[in-house]
A and B are shown apart, each in its own frame.
Chain A
Amino acid sequence: MRHRSPALALLAAAFATLAGALSAAGDPNVKASLVAETHGFQPGKDLVVALRLEQDAGWHTYWQDPGDAGLATDVAWTLPKGVKVGPLLWPKPQVFKDPGGLVGYGYEGHSMVVAVIHVPDNYRGDELSIKAQANWLACKDVCIPGNAGVSLVLARLDPNPPSASAPRFAAIWPSLGQIPDGYKGSVKPGKPLHHGLRVSDSQLDNFEQAPIQRPDTPAPPAATAATESGLAWMLLLAFAGGLLLNLMPCVLPVLSLKALSLVASSQQSRGRALALAGAYAAGVLLSFWTLAVLVLALKQGGAAVGWGFQFQQPAFVLGMAGLMLAFSLNLFGVFEVWLPGGATNTLSQVGRAPGLPGAVGQGLVMTLLATPCTAPFLGPALGFAFASGPLQLVLVFTAVAVGLAFPYVLLAAIPGAKSWLPKPGNWMLRFKEAMGFLLMATLVWLLWLLGKQVGVDGQAWALAWLLLLALACWVWGRFGGPERVFAARSALATLLFAVLFAGGVWMWPQALSGQAPDGAVVRADAAGWEPWSEARVAELRAAGTPVFVDFGADWCWTCKVNERGTLANGTVLKAFNDLGVAKLKADWTHSDPTITAALRAQGRSGVPMYVFYPAHGEAHVLPELITPGIVMDALAGK
């Protein structure tokens, strides 16, 4: 069933002539896609879709009245039987004035032309296929007619959550139906309709089913689940997730620090061990609460944030690299942290455990490094937290923190638990140094990540600052020992901090202003993974192709473990191949609101997330930690 407004018949004819006349090389300056305001559809309810055009800088396409010249964008719909579409609804256009005195109306950059689709009550399909043939004229110093067949397949969903494009729809609703200032052409200004929607009289006359009603924007599914029992369940999941976070690969390097302190505290009294475990737990809690406050502040400011978002900031990664370097040098014995008591024997230092401030510090570092991971159970709980109010967010974060700290508090609290630990001895010195290398491995990872973000030049500046930091640590270790007088040590500490600060002021901006190399952009690679976009998923689904999407990030260790262990597994790859599954990768290494929104749409706030869209039927979200068996089951529809 094809729908085309009679008023646009002339335009269509003009485009038909054009398409034939100008060579069909395609239009490299405009990308077209079909987007929907919601993730799925519901029979009996209106559905809002839009033709989205992304134009290269300087290029523009035209409004329904293009002005003195130009051609309006035209859309011809193909919809299932019984499904109807209203006229195109146009956002207020920009006015282009040519030096020759010609006035044009249209859109630069991104534009959306909206249509409301009515799905009847008796629509029986589980999927709704919307196809459109779009024609447009894109002009800069030259005019190039473009056309594209675009499509969208939506699943029947109840509730029907907003899609990743919903914020874009929200942004243009107020300007729909408005005419440009000083406009004297034939398009009449729109009049207000339900929910503030404005369309023109002529559009109303042409609408094939009245009245036009802006469908209510549904709330995200996670937010609607904020009942008391829901909260209790989410807190339980958060606790279990925090517990399991201890076993996640991104936490492994910090395990070394804790392993050492556990052995060290085995010499201590039970009270001392409990105090240390409590301090560690306090450190974890404190850092999770800090993180919660930061997330709330960013959310308040309108930023789209998710779990592990801080690793998207090169400054944070560089700071973490500095911390890791200082810790590993400390473990190598290059310098000692100032401690009262004057103990100088290295072994006794190890045996004395880190002290209460050290234990709090370990808790802080544990949280910082744990955040790039999500663990089983953690995904739904964090998704709930990010979509809920401040209280729920703080409660869920607290539950994760308690889960993360729980095993160590338990070990300290149970009297017999320490008996299985090895006896302290000289081996601890070697162990401590060996653990230093594990931290160095973390440093390698952080620097690799930084290189991905700021390129090799930025990375070189970062390394230069880290060298300065290492030098400062060595100077402190050599000349800042407890044998010196307090005043001399204070002066030296001040000097070293000043040098590091001055070096930072000079080097950090150089490091952070580096350009990410092209490799940061996901391209179709040898294994056949291609970049993710909502439009690409829709296009593939419209063609009946099953789709597997890997939402990941370079800083996410769980993602890397899954990618190398499971997604690169021969059996899995063969199954992808045999079933003709299209493999898409959404890279969240850098902040990307569309990916954040896609994660949010599935009730998640962080990576990894794996979604399998079978050729027919609803999307299936896989667990965070995937095995070949889990993927094979998902592909088989189990």
Chain B
Amino acid sequence: MKRFGLLMLLSCLGLPLSAADAPKAAPVFSVKDLSGTAWTQAGPAKGVLLLDLWATWCPPCLAEIPSLNALQAKYGPSQKMAVLGVCIDKGTVDLAKAAAAKYKIAYAVAPGDDKLPKLFGVSGIPTAYVLKDGKILATLVGKHSLAGFESDLAPFLK
């Protein structure tokens, strides 16, 4: 009953219900970004990891890159959040490098691993996961503006 009340309250506040669900265990994974840093489901030592699955053929994914850049610039230095974009195109380093340069991506980019979308059970992209200590705290599906991201991520950026 309490849980129902909380859900009602959160939905009245306009918060995504996925953020209100009890955190689920994230699938176990490990990817290296273009600078060689390894990322896992554990996320960064401080703050949360925003894991964004995207592709160069996906217009809404490309359209939200400026918002993700802004998030990284705003919350990265204070270590509240780190953004990692996993490009699921082909999995080649060259393609990810070219895409990061072409779209002026200012956050960590990892070449795709086709296991990752399967592991998370993604059906469409962009889909972003908020990860912390091996748990999925929230799932954000579809294109978000900066304000949309900040609204959905507010509980994790305090």
Contact = CB atoms under 8 A, between A and B. Distances in A.
A69 B66 contact: no
Contacts of A578: none
B63 A143 contact: no
Contacts of A137: 57-58
Contacts of A141: 60, 142-143
Contact of A142 (B56, B112, B121, B141): B141
B131 interface: no
A98 B60 CA distance: 8
B57 A14 contact: yes
Contact of B118 (A21, A104, A140): A21
Interface string A333-376: 00000000000000000000000000000000000000000000
A302 interface: no
Given A17-B114, A23-B117, A141-B143, A99 B124 contact: no
Consensus secondary structure, chain B interface: loop
Chain B interface size band reads 20 to 34
Interface in A543-561: none
Contact of A139 (B59, B89, B90, B114): B59
Contacts of A70: 57-59
B153 interface: no
B59 A21 contact: no
A411 B112 CA distance: 88
B125 A142 contact: yes
B70 interface: no
Nearest to B144: A141
B88 A23 contact: no
Interface in A141-191: 141-144
A142 B124 contact: yes
Given A21-B118, A22-B117, A137-B57, A144 B123 contact: yes
A14 B61 CA distance: 17
Contacts, number: 83
B22 interface: no
Interface in B85-122: 88-90, 112, 114, 116-118, 121-122
Contacts of B63: 98-100, 102
A460 B87 CA distance: 59
A70 B117 CA distance: 18
A22 B124 CA distance: 7
B126 A23 contact: no
Contact of A68 (B62, B88, B142): B62
Contacts of B114: 17, 20-21
A141 B126 CA distance: 8
B72 interface: no
B41 interface: no
Interface string A72-104: 000000000000000000000000101110101
A67 B60 CA distance: 13
Residue of B55, B66, B124, B141 with most partner-chain A CB within 10 A: B124
Residue of A66, A68, A98, A143 with most partner-chain B CB within 10 A: A143
Contact of A100 (B62, B118, B122, B123): B62
Chain A interface size band reads 20 to 34
Contact of B121 (A14, A23, A140): A23
A102 B123 CA distance: 23
Given A20-B114, A21-B114, A22-B117, A139 B60 contact: yes
B88 A21 contact: yes
Contact of A69 (B57, B88, B90, B141): B57
Nearest to A66: B57
Interface string A87-125: 000000000101110101000000000000000000000
Contacts of A414: none
B90 A22 contact: no
A234 B158 CA distance: 83
A23 B127 CA distance: 13
Contacts of B55: 143
Contacts of A100: 62-63, 65-66
Contacts of A96: 59
Nearest to A102: B59
A161 to B, nearest CB: 41
Contact of A23 (B59, B89, B90, B123): B123
A636 interface: no
Interface string B5-37: 000000000000000000000000000000000
B5 to A, nearest CB: 30
A143 B88 contact: no
Interface in A11-27: 14, 17, 20-23, 25
A71 interface: yes
A142 B62 contact: no
Contacts of A143: 55, 57-61, 124-126
Nearest to B114: A21
Nearest to B115: A21
A22 B60 contact: no
Nearest to A15: B57
Residue of B55, B89, B112, B127 with most partner-chain A CB within 10 A: B55
Contacts of B61: 69, 143
Nearest to B59: A69
B36 to A, nearest CB: 24
Interface in B31-53: none
Contacts of A102: 59, 62-63
B120 to A, nearest CB: 9
B143 A142 contact: yes
Nearest to A96: B59
Contacts of B60: 98, 139-143
A140 B118 CA distance: 21
A67 B59 CA distance: 9
A140 B122 CA distance: 16
Nearest to B66: A100
Contacts of B56: 69
B118 A69 contact: no
Nearest to B88: A21
B100 to A, nearest CB: 15
Given A21-B114, A70-B58, A142-B127, 8 more contacts: A21-B117, A23-B117, A23-B123, A102-B63, A137-B58, A139-B59, A143-B58, A144-B124
Q: Which 3 residue pairs are nearest across A and B when measured between Cβ atoms?
A: A141-B142, A144-B124, A100-B63
